[in-house]
Chains A and B, each alone.
Chain A
Amino acid sequence: MRNLWIFISRYNAFFLFIIFFTIGIYLTVKNNSYQRSVTLNSTNEIVGTAYERLNVFKRYLNLGMVNDSLAAENAKLKSQLLGLTTVDTAKDVRVVDTVTNQDYTYLAAKVVKNSITLRNNIMTINKGTVDGIQSGMAVIAPQKGVVGFIRDVSAHLATIQSLLHKDTRISVTLKKNNALGSLVWGDGNFDIKKAFIKEVPNHIKMYVGDTVVTSGFASFPAGILVGKITKPNVATNDNFLSGELNLFTDFSTLQYVYVVKNKKAEEQKALESLAKPNE
């Protein structure tokens, strides 16, 4: 023991260096979102694979519940089938939206890592660039409800910035009168079943039980069910109304999600970038 102390005090410069250097690196990675996202990115492949392995076992435990939900969804889809033209391929289900003539395809993906306990939650799914997934695509839940946006994509995996994230805003409308608002989560509420609709114009009347759907102006197709209003007409100190709503998506049991590919996304983005803001 005494020899150890002598050793440490002789090379105290080195040991102190190690201590302070570790603190410095820890601070850097902890407080700097850029470094944090990079460190997560570089390890994501490994982490994702590990979770995928783990998930193989975990899947069996939830098999019954997943089966039930898939069966329910199948039944629903079958009932809708008559009204839609579908081309069934192995992977993509092509839905021709005859009303607005937009062309969305839905790609089912399995959630390999879910996260609901953090302020900013990121999920991982088992489809990547090989399956045509790009950053920014919308992700919806199997039965009803929105999930989030694709954030980073690797060859076989992708991360989703879920709705439960401070940067996620989804353009939504009230179903009955198409009043526009944006869906956010957080702001003192960390219940994963609740979110807020914000920036609704002041003259709109919201009532308990009003359905909120996606507007279709961004990556999400129009009319995806989001939730039901539980606390309407919360006045904020700006010129807009807010409301609290119960989400249809159950983030805690999410196992499969659908990634929405919009065939005209790039065309729309290119066209809209022509119009310069503040012109």
Chain B
Amino acid sequence: MNSRIIIVNVIRWFLLLFVQIFLLKNMGFYDLSTPFIYVLFLLLLPFGIPNILLYVLAFATGLTLDAFYDTMGVHATACVVLAFVRILFISISLNRDAIDDPEPSLSYMGFQWFSLYAFLCVIAHHLVLFFLETFRLTEIGYTLMRCGLSCIFTLLIILLVEFIFYRRTPR
């Protein structure tokens, strides 16, 4: 069981980063909306993961992306923020003892919980990402617009992927 989770996550990591780097990196609407689908890997890590491992994985994933995007540290920081939001949201919205689902995916948690979870995580990630990339407050309008539109795009793709891999499981 345990090794199955690890293998699934490793495959997911490679698949998502492959799609992000070789397909979605070239995509974007008028420089305004660019999807960052790789955050789905961090969203779908199992519930039982220790915090330190989650942070290390988030940081490493971000650094890998940075290496391909030539933005040293920007994605890494954004991913760390995402990990923090993830921990906060899960600890607030779910009772820690009562969690028996393996991972926070759409199939296990239902549309309402998952969409709110994905929305909060993605918006935190994108805010940090775009503000670090721009690094000035004078273009705040443009940055916020890019951030908002990219959020919508990313969320759409995340929900789409989740619905495609939807497994009807007894809740």
Contacts and interface: CB of A to CB of B under 8 A. Distances in A.
Interface of A: 12-14, 16-17, 20-21, 23-32, 34-35, 38-39
B71 A32 contact: yes
A34 B135 contact: yes
B78 to A, nearest CB: 8
Contacts of A28: 71-74, 77, 132
Given A13-B84, A13-B88, A17-B55, A38 B136 contact: yes
Nearest to B56: A20
B63 to A, nearest CB: 8
A21 B81 contact: yes
A26 B132 CA distance: 12
B94 interface: no
Contacts of A14: 84
Given A13-B87, A28-B72, A32-B72, A21 B136 contact: no
A24 B128 CA distance: 11
A272 to B, nearest CB: 30
B73 A12 contact: no
A16 B73 contact: no
Q: Of residues A20, A26, A34, A39, which shows the largest number of chain B Cβ atoms within 10 Å of its Cβ?
A: A20
Contacts of A39: 135
Contacts of B87: 13
A16 B52 contact: yes
B17 interface: no
B26 to A, nearest CB: 22
B88 A31 contact: no
Given A17-B83, A30-B72, A39-B135, 10 more contacts: A13-B84, A16-B55, A20-B58, A20-B76, A24-B76, A25-B132, A27-B66, A31-B73, A32-B74, A38-B135
B155 interface: no
Interface string B55-80: 10011001000100001111011101
A25 B135 contact: no
Nearest to A37: B135
Given A16-B52, A35-B135, A21 B73 contact: no
Contacts of B77: 21, 24-25, 27-28
A102 to B, nearest CB: 38
Contacts, number: 67
Closest A-B pairs by Cβ, 10 of them: A24-B77, A27-B73, A28-B73, A31-B72, A20-B80, A17-B84, A13-B87, A24-B76, A35-B135, A16-B55
B51 A26 contact: no
Interface residues of B, number: 24
Given A16-B52, A32-B72, A32-B74, A24 B135 contact: no
A38 B137 CA distance: 11
Contacts of A27: 66, 72-73, 76-77
B74 A20 contact: no
Contacts of B80: 17, 20-21, 24
Contact of B52 (A12, A29, A30, A32): A12
Contacts of A31: 72-73
Contacts of A29: 73
Contacts of A13: 51, 84, 87-88, 91
A253 B81 CA distance: 47
B82 to A, nearest CB: 10
Nearest to A26: B73
Given A13-B87, A35-B135, A20 B72 contact: no
A55 B136 CA distance: 30
Interface in B78-127: 78, 80-81, 83-84, 87-88, 91
Contact of A24 (B52, B62, B88, B136): B62
A30 B76 CA distance: 14
Contacts of A20: 55, 58-59, 76, 80, 83
26 contacts: A13-B87, A14-B84, A16-B51, A16-B52, A17-B80, A17-B83, A17-B84, A20-B58, A20-B59, A21-B80, A21-B81, A21-B84, A24-B78, A25-B73, A25-B132, A26-B73, A27-B72, A28-B71, A28-B77, A31-B73, A32-B71, A32-B72, A32-B73, A35-B132, A38-B135, A38-B136
